[in-house]
Structure 1
Amino acid sequence: MVNLNDIVSPDALATGLAANGKKALFQKIAALAACAYDLEADEVGDALFERERLGSTGFGGGVAIPHAKIPGLDKMCGVVVLLDPAVPFDAVDEAPVDIVFALLSPVDSGAEHLKTLARVSRYLRDDNNVARLRGAKSTEALHALLAGGGARDAA
């Protein structure tokens, strides 16, 4: 089972991020992914936006898990951002989103993509995990929380 900390580089985290809508948010996530994982920012942003056009990845409670398969990517990668202020996201409960866990997967990662997406979803459906993430005021704190949550979940 993949540890959440194993798929999220410390360079792919941001707290207090401001974005003026989904498109701007995806561009900022793509820029983080480009730096952390040596990807093309435009390609990542476009892939996330195209997936979002199929239906919102905001699943309620202020949380979204945008995801996309990225050509040339050789392993699962994540970008986690805490937004301030929250961004309207067309979520199922219509609440704006302030926690985003973007999952980037290799094109041929069928089952692994779905398993990792389910794992991220389980982690973010836990109210205690969400509350702790919202309390993180630095990327170091965010990284430590993901490491702790991932280790406990894997046990």
Structure 2
Amino acid sequence: MELADILAPRAVLSCTGVTNKRQLFERLADTASGLTDFTSAQILDALTSREELGSTGLGNGIAIPHGKLTGLKGVTAVFARLDQPIDFDAVDDQPVDLVVMLLAPVGAGADHLKALSRVARLLRTEAITEQLRAETDAMRLHEVLTAPVETTYAA
């Protein structure tokens, strides 16, 4: 599964003014609502329910909040680049500024895990995270996230 398959260009945000995890989740839920048949409240509930189990902050300024929704048609992603890092209770206690939210249908275990793995692998690549942190244009961010691996590493 490639990120281009689940991340629409309109699902890439360059966020300003987000100061906490709740605001971030609300912004992600609002965007995802426009991509799915779910309300912002339903998506926010899925994200916060999962986050209550433990932080999805991976470290190095990266978080992958995720949730499952009954009836969702397929895995859906939303990316946010924050202009100011926020506290996320990440495993390394560092603030987060790069976020990929994943939503998956209930029962889509393999696809959900493939998407999580793909995103985590991509965001562990220093050259990619440097590009994402240097860019503010949403279309360019989408290009970096969805570029073939050879193209992304070359930049």
| Aligned twin of 2:15 | 16
| Aligned twin of 2:68 | 69
8 Å contact kept, 2:37–2:72: no
8 Å contact kept, 1:4–1:150: no
User: 1:72-151 maps to which residues of 2 (within 5 A)?
Assistant: 72-149=71-148
8 Å contact kept, 1:11–1:35: no
SS of equivalent to 1:84:
strand
For residues 69-89 of structure 1, the C-alpha deviation after alignment (integer angstroms, 9 at most, x for no partner) is 112211110000001211100
After TM superposition, give the deviation of residue 111 of structure 1 in Å.
1.4
| Aligned twin of 1:39 | 38
Would you say how many aligned residue pairs link Structure 1 and Structure 2? 152
Structure 2: which amino acid aligns with 1:146? L
Q: Is the counterpart of residue 59 in structure 1 residue 58 in structure 2?
A: yes
Gaps of 5+ in 2: none
Structure 1: how far apart are the matches of 2:57 and 2:97?
10
For residues 96-124 of structure 1, the C-alpha deviation after alignment (integer angstroms, 9 at most, x for no partner) is 00000001101110111112111111011
Structure 2: how far apart are the matches of 1:8 and 1:94?
28
8 Å contact kept, 2:2–2:118: no
Structure 2: how far apart are the matches of 1:151 and 1:105?
28
Give RMSD over aligned pairs: 1.6
**Which deviates more from structure 2 when the two are superposed, residues 92-101 or residues 10-19?**
10-19
After TM superposition, give the deviation of residue 130 of structure 1 in Å.
0.7
TM-score, normalised by the number of residues in structure 2: 0.92
Structure 2: which amino acid aligns with 1:32? T
Structure 2: how far apart are the matches of 1:12 and 1:150?
20
Question: Cα distance 1:150–1:105, how it changes in 2: closer, same or farther (>3 A)?
Answer: farther
SS of equivalent to 2:94:
coil
Structure 1: which amino acid aligns with 2:40? A
Structure 2: how far apart are the matches of 1:103 and 1:121?
11
After TM superposition, give the deviation of residue 137 of structure 1 in Å.
1.3
| Aligned twin of 1:30 | 29
Structure 1: how far apart are the matches of 2:83 and 2:105?
30
Identity of aligned residues (%): 41
Task: Find runs of 4+ consecutive structure 1 residues off by over 2 angstroms.
Answer: 36-39, 149-153
Structure 2: which amino acid aligns with 1:100? V
